A and B are shown apart, each in its own frame.
Chain A
């Protein structure tokens, strides 16, 4: 019997020809990513206590995104610690205040098929969109990686989520994801490895594949992988990565996953998740009329260039409904610049959007942006836990960028297909 891509990636990282689900292995880490919250401020004192240095500073990437822009003395100190520490630790790959770590990591060309990577954030499975094994860990576990260059792993089972059919205009990877959350639940991934597969997935651009991998976290999986192909190669070439091996990093045709779940894109309608779980997803039209106060396009999950384009497609030539606020925090400065150049950002601003920094912002719920009691928000983010983004009486709904934009226009939960001109072109999925 052949090996799944998951098994091949782990076998390579632990120096074996093959691995079997359930066995404990120790893997060598090719890439370790940290942000300002769980990174330097936490690992620095622990490294000092051990008197240890980083095993290989060139394999470490530090990105500030949680406490930027700093709003008080505490957050200023956290970010300053990151800036000072990368210098003393010899970390060259430092991306300061240019966007959200998972999206920056991809756009700066750090990811590639075949690697084994860890990130100090729960949405680190995002990296799996590039055909690599990447998962999230806490700060102390990151310390272990920084000191040893290794991490233990129970070889996961492979859960194959296979999509067939055509994603119609007004639908996106986010709708696929919410439908998977509804069917499988937030522990459906059982901390195993998800592989997203099938023609619908292959037809997605890299940034939408990243949306799928990102929310493997919401399915409770350790990783969420998409096999690399020419789309991967083209994205990486644009990010400055010249030679990419995709042929070695495909699952064997005769590999048998532990679970196989099939989904039909032709039968998919725009999805929205009711408070307080992504698993509370259903077709937008099944939720009835739900008035909204705030529409939020943000976070690593829902404010990449492709997401901004989807929102702009709905909002171009329209205005935000009276009494509604539309917040847009582009995931990275690079995506914002491109959106500005091509007119995507202009369409959003002319519709009445308020522009937020290229940072985690309200999604992280750490401070500056918190929603007040009784506020009903529809967000393109990944999580709508009670109290996470503000008051515990704030209601957070989740939807695709199309659906969030449609609610901004109408003031209530709306099927975005009602606002999209069927004759207009489909959003450029090239990113």
Chain B
């Protein structure tokens, strides 16, 4: 469980991974994640916290540093009514859990949130309400649990399922 960070308006990849820091590694990019909306987010978010966003979350660039910055900060999940398709794929690939929740906007800042990724159930401990989210397809959830596509490929290579030539 973790604390909810609610962001409204429109969240694009430039807000999540600002251009001027793209030449650096993920530690530096993560330090500036969402600073245009909340300068304290990166320094105050704690592992296990949950980001609540608007529809079409993560629109814009193909830069996977956008979800990777959130994962680097320890964000347990991003909940939004919808995600940009490219952001959604990148999130899975870097091991960041994302859940489509039509009623994500019922969550308030600092609400205490608990998530069951497999069933797509989100429990708001502050209000006592349960918020139904679309479950992540099993093969994608497996990739998230492995830590993303890279460790997942590593596992497949170890099992001999994939030849690397």
Counting CB contacts under 8 A, is B148 at the interface? yes
Q: Is A164 part of the binding interface, using a Cβ–Cβ cutoff of 8 Å?
A: no
B-side contacts of A385, CB under 8 Å: 10, 12, 14-15, 60
Answer whether A140 and B62 are a contact pair too, CB < 8 Å, given A49-B154, A386-B36, A388-B14.
no
Assembled-state Cα–Cα distance A382/B153 (Å): 35
With contacts A140-B93, A187-B82, A370-B20 taken as known, whether A53 is within 8 angstroms of B165 at the C-beta atoms is yes
Chain B positions within 8 Å of A49 at CB level: 150, 154
Chain A residues, Cβ within 8 Å of B82: 187
CB <8 Å contact, B62 and A186: no
User: In the complex, are the beta carbons of A122 and B15 less than 8 A apart?
Assistant: no
Contacts of B114 in A (CB 8 A): none
Question: A138, B165: Cβ atoms under 8 Å?
Answer: no
Q: Considering the chains assembled together, what is the distance between the CA atoms of A78 and B10 in angstroms?
A: 31
In the bound complex, residues from chain A placing their C-beta under 8 Å from that of B130 are none
CB 8 Å contact bits of A371-403 with B (1 = contact, 0 = none): 000000000000101111000100000000000
Contact B23 A75 (CB under 8 A): yes
Scan A66-92; emit 1 where CB is below 8 A from any B CB, else 0: 010000001100100000000000000
Q: Which residues of A contact B139 (CB under 8 A)?
A: 24
Docked complex: B66-99 residues within 8 A CB-CB of A = 82, 84-86, 88-90, 93-94
Alpha-carbon distance A368/B76, docked complex (angstroms): 35
A122 touches B86 (CB 8 A): yes
Chain B, 111-137, contact with A by CB distance < 8 Å: what is the 0/1 string? 000000000000000000000000001
CB nearest to A153 among chain B residues: B89
Partner of B93 from the list A51, A67, A144, A366 (CB cut-off 8 Å) is A144
Contact B150 A140 (CB under 8 A): yes
Complex: A222 Cα to B62 Cα, angstroms:
11
A78 to B149, alpha carbons, bound, how many Å?
23
A205 within 8 A of B: no
Is A37's beta carbon under 8 Å from chain B? yes
Quick check: is A109 within 8 A (CB to CB) of the other chain? no
Q: Within 8 Å CB of A365, what residues of B?
A: 14, 19-20
In the complex, A100 Cα to B13 Cα: how many Å?
20
**Is B64 interfacial (CB-CB < 8 Å)?**
yes
Q: Which B residues lie within 8 Å of A122 (CB)?
A: 13, 60-62, 86
With an 8 A cutoff between CB atoms, is A136 at the interface?
yes
Can you name the residue of chain B whose Cβ is closest to the Cβ of A35? B62
User: A136-B86, A148-B162, A387-B36 are contacts. A121–B22 as well, Cβ < 8 Å?
Assistant: no
Report yes or no: B55 in contact with A187, Cβ–Cβ below 8 A.
yes
Interface size band for B: 35 or more
Complex Cα gap A277–B62 (Å): 17
Kindly state whether residue B157 has any CB partner on chain A within 8 Å: yes
The 8 Å CB contact of B86, one of A24, A55, A137, is A137
Which residues on A sit within 8 Å (CB–CB) of B23?
67, 74-75, 78, 366-367
Contacts of B61 in A (CB 8 A): 121-122
Q: Are B86 and A138 in contact (CB under 8 A)?
A: yes
How far in angstroms is the closest Cβ of chain B from A147?
6
> Which residues on A sit within 8 Å (CB–CB) of B12?
385, 388
* Chain B nearest CB, measured from A192 CB (Å): 9
Contact with B along A339-373 (1 / 0, CB 8 A): 00000000000000000000000001111001000
B59 within 8 A of A: yes
Report chain B residues within 8 Å CB of A50. Answer: 150, 153-154, 157, 164
- Find out whether the CB atom of B19 lies under 8 angstroms from the CB atom of A143: no
- Minimum CB–CB distance from A220 to chain B (whole Å) comes to 6
> In the complex, are the beta carbons of B165 and A52 less than 8 A apart?
yes
B59: chain A residues at CB < 8 Å are 186-187, 220
Docked pose: A74 CA to B15 CA in angstroms: 22
B56 touches A144 (CB 8 A): no
Instruction: Write the nearest CB–CB distance from A96 to chain B, whole angstroms.
Output: 18
* A277 touching B89, Cβ below 8 Å: no
Q: List the B side residues contacting A263 at CB < 8 Å.
A: none
Question: Which partner residue on chain B sits nearest A152 by CB separation?
Answer: B139
B121: shortest Cβ distance to chain A, in Å?
A: 23
Q: Which 7 A-B pairs have the closest CB atoms?
A: A191-B85, A138-B64, A365-B19, A52-B164, A138-B90, A187-B56, A122-B62
Binding site for B on A (CB under 8 A): 24, 37-38, 46, 49-53, 55, 67, 74-75, 78, 120-122, 124, 136-141, 143-144, 147-148, 186-187, 190-191, 220, 222, 276-277, 364-367, 370, 383, 385-388, 392
Of the A-B pairs whose beta carbons lie under 8 Å apart in the complex, a sample of 6, sorted by A's number, is A51-B157, A75-B23, A191-B86, A367-B19, A385-B15, A386-B15
